[in-house]
Amino acid sequence: MRDRYYAVEPGVEILVHEQQPQGTPRGQIVLVHGLEGGSDSGYMRSLAQAALERGFGVHRFHMRSCGGTESRSGNVLYHSGQTGDLKFVTCTIAEERGGSLFLTGFSLGGNVVLKLAGELGEDAATWIAGVCAVSTPIDLGICARSLEKPSNFLYENRFLGRLKDRIRRKAALMPGLFCLEDLPRAKTVRDFDDLFTARCFGFGTAEHYYESQSSGQYLERIRIPALLVQAKDDPLIPFEIYNNHPAFRRNPNLRLLAIEHGGHLGFLSWIKPRFWLDETILEFLESLESGNKRAGEFVPLRGEFAR
């Protein structure tokens, strides 16, 4: 494995863990982690290993300030719609490696890859062959409210604690950058986004941040094959935001794989293959590599496609 730092702008470097298979790779896959995750997150490591065994090069992308890069991230952190860094990294990989390049994002990372694909529109196909998004909060506002439910107390506390720790680490490196007196006022992730994320990036309020950065508004603009995998029982992401979205009926580039059970990033099976999500993603990408540009003949191992 190679640690590579991409200078995406002056004073800001992004860490990517890169691995290549033996022989000529059949393509390159860029993996993007979720909120407060990283390259060592279980879903990232599992898919990376499976992809290498199938002959793909793998690039585990860290969002700005993640992976221990607070000292390399300038005076900002990351947010749910920050696509510029990923665009720079994927363009560089495509130029250097050639061949097919794919993106796969998990949770918040799924929002980033879908938003990037939508922003690029027709231009995406010049270097991205397809994208996958797993357990993705395509409506950030609704998902933030869902996170505040009493049943999601453990999720909320875990995310909030890690976000606050990141602010403290960054503040230790750059005193005065954040108002640490506001930390106790952040009782929820929504509060944190209102007090820190929105202010840091100029969104004004958490609501405006959520409205402007949700990938749901970009789905109809996607012009490359996109597979979205979503469990109907995800406690953080109400399935209604998928069920009611017109893009899945109107955009032939989208495939929504609806799973009855799987929770949030919990796609395991008692029967083989146990890690069926990895196999499903890779088979989808292989179908694109073989020239089936809309993946119309792709048959998933679990679940059913929704329209």
CB 257 within 8 A of CB 305: yes
Give the start-end residues of each E strand in the chain.
2-9, 12-19, 28-32, 57-61, 101-106, 130-134, 226-231, 254-259, 304-306
142 token code pair:
């609704």
First-last CA distance in the chain: 40
Report the topology of domain 2-139+216-306: Rossmann fold (3.40.50)
pLDDT mean by block of 10 residues, the chain; 307 residues? 95 97 95 97 96 97 96 93 98 95 98 98 97 98 98 97 96 93 97 96 97 98 97 97 96 95 84 79 89 53 51
| Single pTM value for the model | 0.93
CB 18 within 8 A of CB 59: yes
Q: What pLDDT does 231 receive?
A: 96
**What's 275's DSSP letter?**
T
182 token code pair:
């506001």
Q: What pLDDT does 274 receive?
A: 65
All structural domains of the chain with their residue ranges: 2-139+216-306, 141-213
284 token code pair:
């989808």
**What's 193's DSSP letter?**
I
Q: Measured between alpha carbons, how far is 63 from 281 in angstroms, rounded to an integer?
A: 22
Q: What pLDDT does 269 receive?
A: 66
Give Cβ neighbours of residue 90 (< 8 Å, ≥ 6 apart): 30, 101, 103, 127, 128
